[in-house]
Amino acid sequence: MKLSVIFTLFCILLFFRSAASQEQGWKTARNEKGIVISYRWVRAPEGRKVREMKAVFTVDSDVHALIRQFKDAEKFRKWSVTVHSCNFRLKTEELWEAHMEFRFPWPLRSRDLVTRNELITSGSTVLLKMNSIPQARPQLPGIKRIESYQATWQFSGIPGGRTVITHRVITYDPPDFPRIIADPVIQDKLIESVEQLRQQI
């Protein structure tokens, strides 16, 4: 009996230590307009270190209304300010393929991205997983394709019909420019996109 209790407590401790370790290493880079942007270093599959970005913010809307902003290509293009064009192929209500072309200001290069998007619901929380599938669409001339991309958008409903969104993204593609050049541009465009989403919802 005692061994069973000790084993159970040990498993619980391991669970909480694992959950805590997943949130370690984040350093806040910017906190503006209710949007907290953080980064942490992680290991790429081949062993080199790359950065993962996280953004946390709140929107005055319920989860289901927000999901529509991500599943409708025209709605998505309007609030995501770096998206020049996009095309979605809906496979089921929880699964769709997306092709997006991004236009960034100089000196960053324009890129495109093809992803497999999947919705996973658990209680009042919905998780949108986006994983790159670069071979799924023909290559566009003159546009560099993002080959490795993993992102999640977690929508957690809170009282008052509001939603906390936690966005995490990582790419293993080598960067075109140093962080000191790219980070301010990417952060500015993310904040602008969140503000547009808040107005559009």
Q: Average pLDDT in the 148-176 region?
A: 95
The pLDDT value recorded for residue 24 is 72
User: Residue 95 has which token pair?
Assistant: 């699964």
Which run of H or E residues covers position 14?
helix 2-22
Q: Average pLDDT in the 141-162 region?
A: 95
User: Residue 29 has which token pair?
Assistant: 């880079």
Q: Average pLDDT in the 55-83 region?
A: 97
User: Residue 201 has which token pair?
Assistant: 């919802």
Residues 6+ apart with CB under 8 A from 201: 59, 60, 61, 65, 66, 69
91: helix, strand or coil: strand
**Is residue 119 within 8 Å of 128, Cβ to Cβ?**
yes
Q: Kindly report the number of other CB atoms within 10 A of residue 33's CB atom.
A: 11
- Residue of 78, 76, 22, 16 lying closest to 54 (CA atoms): 22
pLDDT tens digits for range 30-41: 999 999 999 999
**Is residue 134 within 8 Å of 146, Cβ to Cβ?**
yes
In percent, how much of the chain has pLDDT > 90? 72
7: helix, strand or coil: helix
Domains of the chain with CATH codes: 27-200 (3.30.530.20)
Q: Which residues pair with 165 in a beta bridge?
A: 57, 155
Q: Average pLDDT in the 184-197 region?
A: 96
Is a pLDDT exceeding 90 seen at residue 23? no
Is a pLDDT exceeding 50 seen at residue 142? yes
Residue 44 φ/ψ, nearest 5 degrees: -75, 160
Q: What type of residue is 184?
A: P
109: helix, strand or coil: coil
Torsion region of 69: left, alpha or beta (phi above 0 gives left; psi -120 to 50 gives alpha) = alpha
- Residue of 158, 184, 201, 199 lying closest to 56 (CA atoms): 158
Between 10 and 127, residue with greater pLDDT = 127
- Residue of 134, 138, 129 lying closest to 146 (CA atoms): 134
Q: Whole-angstrom Cα distance, residue 93 to residue 119?
A: 8
